[in-house]
């Protein structure tokens, strides 16, 4: 009985906070827009009996999903979000791996301090950290002021309201999610394997590519998923740093909900986005399961 209760707790949590809200969103995505509260119909009225329930399901349709497929804005937003998320994940990996490798190679007494420095940004509000980049990247911001003062540039750079600013914001925000799993993998790496590779004739560079990188693959995969999955639906960073020209599905979702008040279309956008994210989520879970089985 205790084991059953222990298993039921997370399932009930997922049922209440994920499955039920998701089913509500799916229902709204199959509804039609209405100038009322709530701004969609049909509404389920159980007082009408089985006839009302039958009429409720017959009035649901897939017109909103057909509209998404016919309008260029939405599939372009999905493709743009995928592109930005992929490039941001690659940039985060290129920066995060050397940092994690340096942390794992540091002396043991320095590792807790380095770990604290990595997670230190989480002690500050996410919104404040993004706003701070607006002050750094603006025309009269710290970056342009410094570059003008050093004479590197003769006029201010235009970084704000571009995709470059979005990449900077995403990489800065999600960099710890890349560093921590890679560091956790590299910290457990057996140093004798590198010594054995060097004894067999490998240079330190060859040993790094032939031993360290392959053995750090689980951390790399986990870090890439942890960055890619939230980055594809990011809303705050492209809204504050990217401006109106940056097209991402998170911004489109916000505008449909709060500007256009078109809840059915917005719900359809959210359902399609979740369907896209299910693929990397399933792959991530399978990778974690393989790692657990390999560690047993």
Of the pLDDT bands very low, low, confident and very high (cuts 50, 70, 90), residue 243 is: confident
Provide φ and ψ at 40, rounded to 5°: -160, 160
**Which residues have CB under 8 Å from 270's CB, separation 6+?**
25, 29, 253
| Half-sphere CA count of 27, side-chain side, radius 13 A | 15
Q: Are 223 and 156 in contact (CB under 8 A)?
A: no
156-176 average pLDDT score: 92
| Cα separation, 263 vs 253, whole angstroms | 9
The region of weakest confidence among 40-54, 149-163, 257-271 is 40-54
Q: Rounded mean pLDDT of 125-133?
A: 89
Distances (CA, A) of 260 to 35, 103, 224, 255, 257: 12, 48, 34, 6, 6
Other CB atoms within a 10 A radius of the CB of residue 104 amount to 20
Average pLDDT over residues 35-52: 80
Q: Model's pTM, two decimal places?
A: 0.86
In this prediction, residue 261 carries a pLDDT of 86
pLDDT value at residue 228: 93
Please report the pLDDT score of residue 43 as a whole number: 82
Cβ neighbour number for residue 46 with a 10 Å cutoff: 9
| Tokens (6 digits) for 92 | 């985060």
Q: How far apart are CA 196 and CA 207, in angstroms?
A: 9
Choice between 99 and 40, residue whose per-residue pLDDT is larger: 99
3-class SS of residue 1: coil
d(CA 13, CA 92): 32
| pLDDT for residue 295 | 61
All structural domains of the chain, each given as residue ranges with its CATH number in brackets, are 70-295 (1.10.3720.10)
pLDDT at residue 281 above 60? yes
**Residues 187-227 pLDDT 10s:** 888 878 888 887 788 888 888 888 888 889 889 988 998 99
Which helix or strand (DSSP H or E) is residue 32 part of?
A: strand 32-33
- CA-closest candidate to residue 68, choices 278, 261, 253, 239: 253
On whether the CB atoms of residues 219 and 184 are closer than 8 A, the answer is yes
What are the two backbone dihedrals, phi and then psi, of residue 33, each rounded to the nearest 5 degrees?
-70, 145
**Percent over 90 (pLDDT), the chain:** 34
């Amino acid at each position: 009985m205790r084991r059953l209760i222990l298993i039921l707790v997370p399932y009930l949590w997922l049922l209440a906070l994920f499955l039920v809200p998701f089913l509500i969103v799916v229902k709204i995505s199959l509804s039609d827009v209405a100038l009322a509260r709530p701004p969609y119909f049909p509404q389920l009225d159980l007082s009408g009996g089985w006839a009302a329930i039958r009429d409720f399901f017959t009035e649901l349709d897939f017109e909103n999903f057909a509209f998404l497929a016919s309008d260029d804005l939405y599939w372009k937003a999905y493709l743009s979000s995928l592109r930005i998320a992929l490039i941001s994940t690659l940039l985060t990996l290129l920066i995060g791996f050397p940092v994690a490798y340096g942390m794992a190679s540091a002396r043991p007494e320095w590792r807790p301090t380095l770990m604290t420095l990595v997670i230190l940004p989480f002690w500050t509000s996410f919104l404040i950290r993004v706003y701070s980049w607006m002050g750094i990247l603006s025309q009269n911001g710290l970056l342009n002021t410094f570059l003008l003062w050093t004479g590197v540039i003769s006029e201010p750079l235009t970084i704000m309201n571009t995709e470059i600013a979005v990449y900077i914001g995403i990489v800065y925000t999600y960099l710890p999610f890349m560093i921590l799993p890679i560091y956790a993998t590299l910290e457990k790496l057996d140093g004798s394997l590198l010594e054995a590779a060097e004894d067999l004739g490998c240079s330190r560079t060859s040993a790094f590519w032939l031993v360290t990188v392959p053995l750090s693959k689980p951390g790399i995969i986990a870090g890439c998923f942890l960055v890619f999955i939230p980055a594809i639906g990011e809303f705050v960073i492209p809204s504050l740093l990217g401006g109106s020209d940056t097209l991402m599905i998170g911004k489109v979702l916000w505008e449909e909900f709060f500007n256009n008040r078109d809840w059915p279309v917005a719900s359809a956008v959210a359902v399609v986005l979740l369907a896209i994210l299910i693929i990397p989520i399933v792959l991530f879970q399978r990778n974690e399961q393989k790692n657990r089985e390999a560690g047993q």
